[in-house]
Amino acid sequence: MRSLAVSRLSAATRLWLLAALAVAAMVAFMTLGLRGNLTFALELRAVRLLALVQVGVAVAVSTVVFQTVTANRVLTPSIMGFDALYVFGQMLLVLLLGAAGFAALDPRLKFAGEAVVMVAMALLLFVPLLRRRFDIGLLLLAGVVLGVLFRSLASLVARLIDPNEFAVAQGMSFANFNTVRPDLLAIGLVVTVAAAAIVWRQRHLLDVLSLGADSAIGLGVDWSRVLIGLLLLVALLVAVSTALVGPVTFLGLLVAAIAERVVDSRRHFLLLPAAVLTAVVVLVGGQTVLQHGLGQATTLGVVIEFVGGLVFLGMLLAAGRR
């Protein structure tokens, strides 16, 4: 009992350290290199900070939930092409409405439409895939193929539209942490907070799901219903983060892997906050360092994809060796 108390404490302590780091990153982001009109600068930064934190929460929560439901630690919604699905929906809209019509749409309406299209497609594709008894190899293969498929479809549509429209569309298909979309902040906030709250309430259920479908059903979980509900939340969260900053493939993988190392547990009451805090540290801290330390030498998206990609490869190799 005592050793458990100690290890709990140390996991909790590590979580608190992570929280302190996240707060420090946010303070640095808000205050470093402030010049000129203070209110204007602070307001600008606050909006960007809010967007980055939202993205962090959305990516972290969606990745952890997805990994638990699929019983794997290598795949994330992004690697399986959820965000490409969202971009594909956007491209389709540009194609159907033309660049002018697309730009004239209310961004919130646009977001709602794209989110609905994406959630519908995600459920259509993934519920049958996950409901069956699947082995991890098949899932990995299907995931990577689907990811490539959605990305190719998006770029196919991009080739079909005329160059002016392409410029509009292209702006959406790269991750960009410097210019976030303030017009989507409010709706994103509602979706993110609601989804994160639901997931937090279900943290014990998620623990049970990590035992696998059979054990979960044996413990009274309505597997199909829970699966659909959770995938819906994952799709919505990915829609929020993609709408705000564009697709980031390896961010989720990176934060979930780091979070699991930090708390050394798959229990969700530890893992969820750890993943969220890690995402905040990576996004807000990384953005601050790049802006002030390295003078915008590169963009955060590139760094995250590079490091995350390496982690992905490392995990694949480690899984292969086992």
Does residue 204 bind another protein (CB under 8 A)? yes
Q: With respect to another protein, which residue has the nearer C-beta, 181 or 266?
A: 266
CA atoms within 13 A on the CB side of 176: 12
Is the dihedral angle over the CA atoms 187, 106, 84, 138 positive or is it negative? positive
Q: Report which of 150, 266, 147, 170 is spatially closest to residue 209, judged by C-alpha positions.
A: 266
CB of 308 vs another protein, minimal distance in Å: 21
Report the residue number, 204 or 292, with the smaller CB distance to another protein: 204
| Site for another protein, residues 124 to 183, rule: CB under 8 A | none
Interface residue with another protein, options 170, 265, 291, 299 (CB under 8 A): 265
Among 211, 303, 315, 319, binds another protein (CB under 8 A): 211
Between 140 and 283, name the residue whose CB sits nearer to another protein: 140
Is position 101 an interface residue for another protein (rule: CB under 8 A)? no
Minimum CB distance to another protein smaller for 14 or for 203:
203
Looking at residue 228, its amino acid is: I
Could you tell me if 191 and 237 are in contact, meaning their C-beta atoms sit under 8 angstroms apart?
yes
Closest approach of Cβ 221 to another protein, in Å?
6
Question: Per CB under 8 A, does 3 bind another protein?
Answer: yes
217 binds another protein (CB under 8 A): yes
The distance of closest approach from Cβ of residue 261 to another protein in the complex, given in angstroms and rounded to an integer, is 10
Q: Which helix (H) or strand (E) holds 217?
A: helix 213-218
User: Using CB under 8 A, which residues numbered 28 to 87 contact another protein?
Assistant: 71
Residues in CB range of 255: below 8 A, 6 or more apart: 56, 59, 60, 63, 275, 278, 279, 282
- The Cβ of residue 121 has, within 10 Å, a number of other Cβ atoms equal to 17
> Site for another protein (CB under 8 A): which residue of 139, 260, 285, 308?
260
CB burial of residue 11 (10 Å; 0-12, 13-18, 19+): middle
Q: How many residues bind another protein (CB under 8 A)?
A: 26
- Considering only the stretches 32-40, 90-98, 220-228, 281-289, report the one whose residues sit in contact with another protein under the rule CB under 8 A: 220-228
The span from the CA of 155 to the CA of 159, in Å, is 6
Q: Is 212 in the site for another protein (CB under 8 A)?
A: yes
Here the tokens at position 227 are: 């699966």
Tokens (6 digits) for 308: 């995350």
For another protein, the binding residue among 171, 218, 229, 314 (CB under 8 A) is 218
Minimum distance of another protein from residue 174's CB (angstroms): 35
Q: Identify the CA nearest to 36 among candidates 45, 23, 26.
A: 45
In sequence order, what DSSP letters do the residues of 162-194 get, joined into one string?
A: -HHHHHHHHTTSS--SSS--GGGHHHHHHHHHH
Q: Which stretch binds another protein (CB under 8 A): 91-99, 163-171, 257-265, 305-313?
A: 257-265
Of 37 and 215, the one with the shorter C-beta distance to another protein is: 215
Q: How far is the CB of 278 from another protein (least distance, A)?
A: 16
Tell me the closest approach of the beta carbon of residue 75 to another protein, in angstroms: 15
- CA-based nearest residue to 69, from 201, 231, 219: 231
14 binds another protein (CB under 8 A): no
Would you tell me which residues interact with another protein (CB under 8 A)? 3-4, 7, 71, 203-205, 207-208, 210-215, 217-222, 260, 264-267
